[in-house]
Amino acid sequence: MRPGRELNHRGLETLTGLRTVQAFSQEGYEYRRYEQSSERTYRLSVKRQLLVMLADPLTEGLAAIVLVCFMFVALQGVLSLSVLITVIFMLYRLQPPIKNITHHLSQITSLSASVSTVLKFLQTEDKSYIRSGELPFLGLQQTLRFEGVSFLLRQPWTNGLETTGSEHSPR
């Protein structure tokens, strides 16, 4: 699973199952899982940003290499001075659009993971949905008994319900 998708999945899973997580006092475990996903996503974002930052220096370096090659060819007498000046001027004029193209390509690459995550989330074919209304509730048929149940949460979460037992009988 890709880091961005994993982070979104962890967050959504935790939010939708929040009551279950709290009932079983698994906040710390879920927090650590989310932190790990967040750390992986952060590292990937830093790597992508480094690639974006390298695009301009690489473009400058390639332009300098091409310029040196043309100057070397011109010094050999193969190119005239007017052709060399034209090439230098063209390189000078083409450099900003090439930088923009590399910048926009890196932005598109970094956004593609988010777009694919949203599209996957919106798909309905790969999910099962609970259809309601098929089984009517006919009432409690037997006694429902809770003994020694506690819904108290561990520190730092102190809110909760504590009970030692309760009994619910059918009417």
User: In the prediction, which pLDDT does 110 show?
Assistant: 72
The per-residue pLDDT for 70 is 82
Query: Which contacts qualify for 53-56: CB closer than 8 Å, 24 or more apart?
Result: 55/99, 55/102, 55/103, 55/106, 56/99, 56/102
Residue 1 pLDDT class (50, 70, 90 cuts): low
Least confident residue range of 9-13, 44-48, 130-134, 138-142: 130-134
Please, which pLDDT band fits residue 12 given cuts at 50, 70 and 90? confident
pLDDT given for residue 7 in this prediction: 67
pTM: 0.41
Top-confidence residue, 137 or 155: 137
Q: What is the pLDDT of residues 13-63, one digit of tens each?
A: 767 777 776 667 777 887 788 788 778 878 887 887 787 778 778 888 888
pLDDT in tens, 157-166: 555 555 555 6
91-122 per-position pLDDT tens digit: 888 888 888 888 788 778 777 777 777 777 77
pLDDT value at residue 66 = 85
pLDDT digits (tens, 9 = 90+) for 144-159: 787 777 666 655 555 5
Q: Which residue type sits at 125?
A: E
pLDDT at 125 over 60: yes
